[in-house]
Every structure is written in C-alpha cells, then in structure tokens.
Amino acid sequence: MLDWTDRHYRAFARLLTKRTTLYTEMVVDQALLRGDRDRFLPRNPEDRPAVVQLGGSEPEALAEAARIAEERGYDQIGLNAGCPSDRVQSGKMGACLMAEPDLVARCVEAMVRAVKIPVSVKTRIGIDESDSYEFLEAFATRVMAAGCDHLVVHARKAWLKGLSPRENRTVPPLLPERVYALKEAHPDWTVVLNGGVDSWEKALAHLERVDGVMIGRAAYENLWMLRGADAAVFGDAEGAASLPATQVDAVRAWYPYVERELARGERLKWMTRHLLGLFRGCDGARRWRQELAEGSARPGAGLEVVEAALRHVAS
C-alpha cells in the first residue's frame, strides 16, 4: 500500500474505527536509518494502534529500524515478505524473501531481540512454481520458530516475473483453504488471512477459520466501509454509536487534524486525495471528487475548499 496508507489516510480511518489495527505503508529500513524519520515514520498518535510495515533483508538494519519504530510509539512491527513488485524485489525485499526462509528467520530473530513489541511477517501462499501447501508450511514453520508473533498470509501466490503488481492481485487464484489448513495444522499459531476481503460478510466467514483478516485496497477504495468494523467484527455496538454517523460528519471531524497539518506547512491535496472515493455511490459524488481535487491543488488551499465540495453531497 505504498503511497496509500500514509499518515493522513490513517488519521481519517481512525475516525471511522477505533478497534481496527492500521498498517503504515511499507517503510524501507534504510530510509529510517539514513533518511528523514519524521517523513517516513512520523509520530502520529491519531492512528494508534498501528503496525509499522518494514521492508528489508538485513537483520541488523531491520533490528535498528524496529527500535526506531518502537521508540516512536508504534504497537507492532510487520516484515513484508509478500510484495511482488520489481522495485521491491530489486532491493531484496517482499515476496522474493519466501525463497530464503532462513534469512527471513534471522531477520525476525534480530527484530525480536531488539524490541519488546510483537513482530509479524506478511507473506503469500507461495511464489512461482513453489506453490504447494508443503512449501508454505515449511516457510511458516521456520519463521514462527524464530519468534514471529503472527503470520499475515495473502491467499494468492505471487509470480516474481511476468505479472505486474496489479495482476498479482487478481491473476493467481485465491486459495483461502491453504490459509485455513495452516491454522488447522497449527492451532497455537495466530494466522491472519489477506486477499479478496471486500465486505464484512466475507470477513466474518473467514473469521470462523482464522484469527484475523486484513483488508487492503477495499478499505481504501471504499473508505466508508471501515465505519462498520467496530460493530460487525468486534461486536462493539456501543462504541460504534459514538463514531461519525455520516460521511459529512466524518469529514468535519477530521478538520482539527487538517488544520494542524496545514499549520505545519503540509498541502491540502496530500490529505484530501484519500477522500476522493468517500462518497462513492452517493448523489453528488462526481462533483465532490472534481471540486475537491481541483480546489485542493491550488496554492494556499484550505478547509474552505473542502466545505465548498461538501455542498454537493451534504443535502
């Protein structure tokens, strides 16, 4: 979810669900060690609980990056061993790591020694021709033995060559039964299923067989769906009643955050770009998107742009 689940998205998402654990974008370990930490891993208390998703394959570098994330108040570390993009693979990160379970185990061991917060691994059910259940179980067993707290398993294999990241999300078939089998074989493990979950009905069905579900692009493209998480998944109807009742209410509840970020010099467009699909399916949604996108791009744009765009959907 690079460039998607940034701090602005997470701050808005947290208005819609208090119980869901949010994930950062994948942050490369070297970016934290050598770059602007406030840019790559800002202190953003609005989004807690949150997992820092790290990319890397050098145990000591990942350990130091994990220490930085813990110091900044994040709740968990997640090592990405599932992204199939060429750019990620070129840095020896992501799904290609499934071919090196011992290396992934050393990375996990180093991070577990470095921090007190849980360390998890996000992976696929296989890569290329290595896509049997036995391959998945061997990889998972090695990683869990290294101290991994839980596994997040995308129920598709990844083709490391020949498919784009988009195609890798749709062409390989979804095989949730593989993830179910992993949990059934290892009931003491915490196993989270990822892939193809775009409704709470599907999430609840999976939760009959696994310990958790991860929702990726569906929760971005249909942001308002998160409003149903606390009641549907966590059974917290009382807490859900305190959440914004409508999309308009949620946007206005976000204003204090926006004002703070504008005062720090952030541009409005980098925040509002996440809200373009908020009113999907509603009357006035097209005008909302158009006016918000155009207005937010103007120099010096402020909340007046958002209020003007809301006129098309607030009736």
Distances (CA, A) of 302 to 39, 200, 258: 22, 35, 9
Give the number of other CB atoms < 10 A from CB of residue 134. 9
If you search the block for the tokens 């839980």, which residue do you land on? 150
Is-catalytic flag, 83? yes
Q: b or e along 138-151 (b: 16 or more beta carbons within 10 Å of the residue's beta carbon)?
A: ebbbbbbebebbbb
In terms of DSSP H, where are the helices of the chain? 7-16, 29-34, 37-40, 59-71, 86-90, 101-114, 133-145, 165-168, 176-185, 200-206, 218-221, 229-232, 237-240, 247-253, 255-263, 268-272, 285-296, 303-310
Q: b or e along 206-229 (b: 16 or more beta carbons within 10 Å of the residue's beta carbon)?
A: beeebebbbbbebbbebbbbbbbb
Q: Is 272 helix (H, G, I), strand (E, B) or coil?
A: helix
Q: How far apart are CA 135 and CA 57, in angstroms?
A: 20
Q: Which of 83, 96, 107, 148 does the annotation list as catalytic? A: 83
Q: How far apart are CA 14 and CA 5, in angstroms?
A: 12
Active site residues per annotation = 83
